[in-house]
Structure 1
Amino acid sequence: MRRRPGNWARTLCAAAVLGGALLGPQASAGARPMATVAVTPPSPADSVPGDTMGQAGKPAPLTTTELKVECGTQFYLRPGGVPKDEPVSQKVLDLPAAWQANPGFGNRGAGQTIAVIDTGVARNPRIDVQPGGDYVSGSDGTEDCDGHGTVVAGIIAAKPSPDDGLVGVAPDAQILSIRQLSEHYQAKEQSGDKPPGSMSQQGYGLSATLAAAVVRAVQMKATVINISAAACTTAGSATGDEALGAAVRFAYEQGVVVVAAAGNLDSSNGCGTQNTAQSNPSASWNSLNTIVSPAWFSKYVLTVGWITKDGSPSSKTVYGPWVGVSAIGQDVLGFDPKTGAIVNTSGYDEQNKVYVGIQGTSFAAPYVSGLAALIKAKYPNWSARQVMNQIILTAHQPGTGRDDRVGAGLIDPVAALTAHFPDDVLNSDNPVLPNHVGSDQPQAFPTPQKPAGPPRLPRLVATVGTIVCLSALGIGLAISIPFRRRRRDDELPDLD
C-alpha cells in the first residue's frame, strides 16, 4: 500500500541509459501465458464523423457529469526539500546543447503550440497556458482536479527557475490545455460496466471526446498534440475508437504531430494483460493480448514507451508493435495544480519503505512532444511524418534495431536537431533505421598513424629566441655587478 506524505509535503550519457538491457526483446517477468490473437493494423476513415466535428466546435461532456471525489492532486513533495538538480529524465537529453543546435527565435520552442489533452493544466507563472475547452465539466480547460495534466505540461514547457531543477524541453512554447479526462468526475447516471473506448475505469473520459479534443486542437492551430492517456481492450474485441482513429489521421494530414503514451500495465485501468515483446512488427500484430488506443494508430501517432533510470525498458509499459520511441519516465519533477509548488512523489510505499517517484509512460511522452516542437520550430514546413521519422531515426536503438518495449530506443534531441537524412527516408511510412551496432562482416582497420602534431619551425624559433633572451639577460646582469658595487662604495659616509 502507498500513503500520502503529510502536510509538510503539500504547502548519462546515452550509453549508460541504453545499457545491456536493450540488446534483445523478452517477455516481462511473471507474465501469464495466454492465447494471443492476430490483429490487423487499423485503417482509420479518411474523414472525421460529423458529430465529432460538432463536438470539436462546442467542448462539453457527452452526458451530465458530477464531481464524485473532491479535487486534489495525486502528487506531493517528498522529504528533503525542493530538488535543485535536474532529474535524470531531463538531464540525459542535454537540453542546453539541443537549444544551441538551432540558434534563433525558435530554438526553445517559441512560436509552437502544444495541445495537452489531459486532466486540464492549471495556470502557473512558469507555463504559458491557454484555455482550449473542457469535455469533463464546465471549465475552460485550465482547471486540473487530478494534477496529471499539469505535471505533463511542466515537462513540456516549464520555464527555468533558480529555485529548482525543472525546465521544460520547449520552455518558450505555448500550452493549449483541453480537459478530456478526470478520475474525480463520473457520469451522473453511471451504472454497470464502462462502454468500449472508456479511458478511465473509475472516472470520466471517452475515446469519443478525445477524438473531438484532437480535432479541436488542430482547429486551434496546435502544432503538436500530447495524449498521456490510453484506453485498453482485449485483442479481438470492440475498441470503440473509430472516431478517434479518424481524428488522429486528420491531425496527421494537417501536419500536426500527435504523441501518445504507450499505456501502463495496470489491471485497475483496464490494461492488465501484457503483450509479448518482439522485434518484428508483423509477428507482433499476429500475437496480441491487449490493444492500446490511440497508440495502435501507429501510422498517424508517435507512441512512447518508458525507460527506467538505469536504462532498462520498464516492464510496466504495455508493449506493442506500435511503440515508436522511448524516454525516461521515472522520478520526474512537476507542478502542483493548486499551489504551483514543485512535486516529485505519488506517495509512500509502506511495503518497500520508499517514496514512489512520479512515473509512467504518461511522463515519458511529454519529453517527445517537447522535442517534436523543437523540430517543428527549426523546420516549420516539415510534415508530421518527417518530424516523426527524424525522432525515430536519431533515437539510440537496441541491438535489434527496434523492439516492442522501447521502439527505436531513447530519444536524442541533439541528434534530432542536427542529423540529416534523404527525403525519401524522411517521407517513408517505414523508415529504415541506420545500423549503429556494427557491420554484418568483420572489417580490418589500419593501424592508426601517429598524429603529426603542430609544425616544428614555430616551436624552434620560439625556443631559440627564449634562449637568446635569457642569455642576454644573464650577460647584462654579470656586467652590471662591478658598477653596482662601486656605486655603493661612493655612497658610504666619510667618517674622518
Structure 2
Amino acid sequence: MRPTARKLGRTGRAGVVLLTAGIGVLSPFAPTAFAQQPTSSATSWAVPPPVDPNKLPTDEKKPDKPYKQKTMCVQRSTLGNVDINYRPWGQDYLQLQKAQDIVRSAKGSVGGNQKIGVIDTGVTPHPWFQNRVESGGADYVAPPLNGAKPSLQDCDGHGTEVAGIIAAKPDNPAVGFIGVAPDATIVSYRQLSENYEEDTSSSSTAGGGSSNAPTSGPPSGSSSLPPSNSGGGGQPGGTDPQQDDKGDQRQLEKGGTAGTLKTLAEIIHNIADRGDIKVVNMSVDHCRPADGTGGIEDSEQAVQAAVKYAADRGVVIVAAAGNVSESCPQNDQADPNKPRSIVTPPWFADDVLSVGAIDRTGGVASFSVHGPWVGVAAPGTEIVSLDPAEGSTGLANLTISSGSQTSPIQGTSFASPYVAGVAALVRQMFPDLDARQVIQRIKVTAQHPAAPAGRDDYVGYGVIDPVAALTANLPADVGSLTVPKPMVQPAQLPAGDATSSTPMIVALTGTGGGVLALLITLFVMHTIRRNRTTTPR
C-alpha cells in the first residue's frame, strides 16, 4: 500500500500532517486453493463426468487379448557419443543434487523404502538399478522370452529409460547422470508395446505370443552410449522409429500395437490393493478427439474409477500429459474449455497429476499437449537415461529409425518420471501426507507461471521445484508436519558504550532544544494571527 497523507483541522488553525505507512501482508498459496479449482461445468468438455465406481475392473493379471511380437527388440548401438561426465541439463535445472542432499541428510537415503510402480513397456534390469527392480507379478503384453520374469523384459526400450530417470544409480562416480530417487525400488508392469500386435491366428490364446516371434536383430529405437568409447553390439536400421522430432508417439489402443485402457485400469486397481506402492508413473496414455458433448467412453470410465480408487488409498498417480501427433492434435483452440483432444488418464485431474514438458530454455516443448488438466511441468527434451538393450551397461540419448536416422530422446513420457521421483522423495520426507496432499505440495511449490491463479494450460502450476517441495512450510502443514521452532536472531550491532553517558546527554539536549524552538515559534505565530484578527480594517 502506498503511503497516504491526510490533513486535519480547518483553515486558520495549526496544520498537522499525518503520514501513515500501510503494511502489506503476503499469504503463501494454500494447497486447498489449488484443490478447489472448478471440477464440473455443464459447458466444459474439458471436465469429465462424475466417477462411476461400478466401472472399476477386476484385475485378470493377463493381456486382454493374445499378442505376437512383430518387431525385433531394441539392441545396443554405437551411433552417437556422449561424455560420461555429461550431466543432463534437467538435473541442474531442477537442482536435483541439492534436493537429494536434503533428503539424504534427513533420512539417510534418497528414496529408500519407497516403491514406485512403473506402468510402461517393461523394465530391463540394468545393472545401475542394483537389483532394485521387481516384477509386478504379471505381464499384460505377452509371456516374457528367454526366461525373464513377468514385466522384466523391455522390447521397446521405453520403460527402462523412464525407470532410469526415476531410480538409476550408476556405480561409476564419473557418470553425470543419476535418477531422482536413486535408492527407490521400481515395480514394473509391462502394459504397452509397439513391437507387438494382436495375434489373430486360430491357434493363439490370450496371454500367449507367436512361437516364431523375432526376438533379436537390428536395433529398434534406442542408441546406446557406453561408459567408454568401446564398441557395442548391433547395427542400426531395420525397424520403424519409436519416436520422431515431435516426441514419443506411442498411444494406448493404437492400431497394430499392444495395450488398452482396460488393462491399464486393472493394473492401477492391482497396485491400490497391494498397499506397498505409494507412487505410480504412467508414461502411457490414450488420446482421442473431443466429441463436443463431454461424453466419456466405457474404457475411460474404467481408468477414471481406478485412479479414484487408488488415490483414495494413498497412491500418488503421475501421468505424462501426452504428445502431439496426427491422431492427437494440439489443444490450441480459442476456448480452453472445449479442447480438440482428450487425453486419458490426465483428463482425470482430480486424482492424477499430469506432467507437461519444457525444454532447456524453460519454454514449453512444442510436442507437449496443452489442457486444463495439466498439473505441472518438468524437463522433457535432450534426455539421457539407461540403455534399455538386453545386457547393456551404458547410457542412451538417441533413438534410431530405419536408415540410421537418429533423433534425441524426448517427450512428456520423460518429464513424468522426474515428477514421480520427486513425489517419492516427498513421501519419504513427509510420510503422514496422503496422496492428494503430496500432489498439492508439488503444485504449490512449483514455479508458477504469470497467469491468473498461478496456472495455465501449458505448464499447469509451473515447473516443479524439488527443493521447495521438500523444505517449504505450508499453511496446511500445521498439525500434520513438524514446523521448525522460531529462533531469536541477535541483532548485528556494535556493543554499547557502558562507561560514558555523554552521547545520551547530547541527544536529549538536542531533542529538548528542538521542542522548545517549536513551541516558541507556535506561540509567536498564534500571537501575530490574534493581533491581526483584532486590528480594525
Name 1:302's counterpart in structure 2.
Answer: 353
Which amino acid in structure 2 is aligned with residue 148 of structure 1? Answer: H
CA contact (8 A) 1:156 1:168 kept: yes
Name 1:219's counterpart in structure 2.
Answer: 273
Q: Structure 1 pair 310/300, CA: closer, same or farther in 2 (3 Å)?
A: same
Q: CA deviation at 1:95?
A: 1.9
In structure 2, the gaps of 5 or more residues are 1-42, 145-149, 202-250, 481-490, 498-537
Q: CA deviation at 1:172?
A: 0.5
Larger CA deviation: 232-241 vs 145-154: 232-241
Matched, 1:396 2:447: yes
Alignment match of 1:359 (pick from 385, 410, 420): 410
Name 2:283's counterpart in structure 1.
Answer: 228
Matched, 1:241 2:296: no
CA contact (8 A) 2:107 2:429 kept: no
Matches within 5 A, 1:226-375: 226-236=281-291, 239=297, 240-267=299-326, 270-271=327-328, 273-276=329-332, 284-285=336-337, 287-337=338-388, 338=390, 339-347=392-400, 356-375=407-426
Q: Deviations over 1:436-462 (max 9, x none)?
A: xxxxxxxxxxxxxxx9777699xxxxx
Q: Using structure 2 for the length normalisation, give the TM-score.
A: 0.65
Query: Quick one: distance in 2 between partners of 1:344 and 1:265?
Result: 21
Matched, 1:180 2:235: no
Which amino acid in structure 1 is aligned with residue 301 of structure 2? Answer: E
Q: Deviations over 1:28-71 (max 9, x none)?
A: xxxxxxxxx94151245353646x2242xxx2111111111121
Name 2:471's counterpart in structure 1.
Answer: 418
Q: Structure 1 pair 80/68, CA: closer, same or farther in 2 (3 Å)?
A: closer
Matched, 1:67 2:69: yes
> What percentage of aligned pairs have identical amino acids?
40
CA contact (8 A) 1:46 1:249 kept: no
The two structures, once aligned, show a CA RMSD in angstroms of: 2.8
Report the structure number with the largest CA radius of gyration: 2
**Local SS of the residue matching 1:244:** helix
CA contact (8 A) 1:264 1:317 kept: yes
Name 1:440's counterpart in structure 2.
Answer: none
Which amino acid in structure 1 is aligned with residue 159 of structure 2? Answer: G
Name 2:124's counterpart in structure 1.
Answer: 122
Q: CA deviation at 1:90?
A: 1.6
**Local SS of the residue matching 2:439:** helix
Q: Structure 1 pair 310/381, CA: closer, same or farther in 2 (3 Å)?
A: same
Name 1:378's counterpart in structure 2.
Answer: 429
CA contact (8 A) 1:107 1:378 kept: no
Matched, 1:136 2:146: no
**Local SS of the residue matching 2:307:** helix
Query: Quick one: distance in 1 between partners of 2:479 and 2:71?
Result: 47
Query: Quick one: distance in 2 between partners of 1:157 and 1:122?
Result: 13
**Local SS of the residue matching 1:326:** strand
Query: Quick one: distance in 2 between partners of 1:384 and 1:228?
Result: 19
CA contact (8 A) 1:46 1:250 kept: no
In structure 1, the gaps of 5 or more residues are 1-36, 191-196, 428-450, 458-496
Alignment match of 1:169 (pick from 176, 180, 183): 180
Q: Deviations over 1:400-431 (max 9, x none)?
A: 1211111111111000001111229999xxxx
CA contact (8 A) 2:373 2:457 kept: yes
Which amino acid in structure 2 is aligned with residue 254 of structure 1? Answer: R
Q: Structure 1 pair 368/63, CA: closer, same or farther in 2 (3 Å)?
A: same
Alignment match of 1:203 (pick from 242, 247, 257): 257
Q: Structure 1 pair 277/105, CA: closer, same or farther in 2 (3 Å)?
A: farther
Q: CA deviation at 1:80?
A: 3.1
Which amino acid in structure 1 is aligned with residue 158 of structure 2? Answer: H
Name 2:51's counterpart in structure 1.
Answer: 45
Name 1:97's counterpart in structure 2.
Answer: 98
Q: CA deviation at 1:289?
A: 0.5
Q: CA deviation at 1:89?
A: 1.1
Matched, 1:154 2:164: yes
Q: CA deviation at 1:91?
A: 1.8
Query: Quick one: distance in 1 between partners of 2:304 and 2:398?
Result: 34
Query: Quick one: distance in 2 between partners of 1:316 and 1:295?
Result: 16
Name 1:483's counterpart in structure 2.
Answer: none
Q: Structure 1 pair 381/231, CA: closer, same or farther in 2 (3 Å)?
A: same
**Local SS of the residue matching 1:365:** helix
Which amino acid in structure 1 is aligned with residue 168 of structure 2? Answer: A
Query: Quick one: distance in 2 between partners of 1:346 and 1:252?
Result: 34
CA contact (8 A) 2:52 2:301 kept: no
Q: Structure 1 pair 85/455, CA: closer, same or farther in 2 (3 Å)?
A: farther
Query: Quick one: distance in 1 between partners of 2:421 and 2:48?
Result: 27
Q: Using structure 1 for the length normalisation, give the TM-score.
A: 0.71
Q: CA deviation at 1:107?
A: 4.5
Alignment match of 2:460 (pick from 407, 425, 444): 407
**Local SS of the residue matching 1:53:** coil
Query: Quick one: distance in 1 between partners of 2:310 and 2:284?
Result: 17
Number of equivalences = 377
Q: Structure 1 pair 141/93, CA: closer, same or farther in 2 (3 Å)?
A: same
**Local SS of the residue matching 2:441:** helix
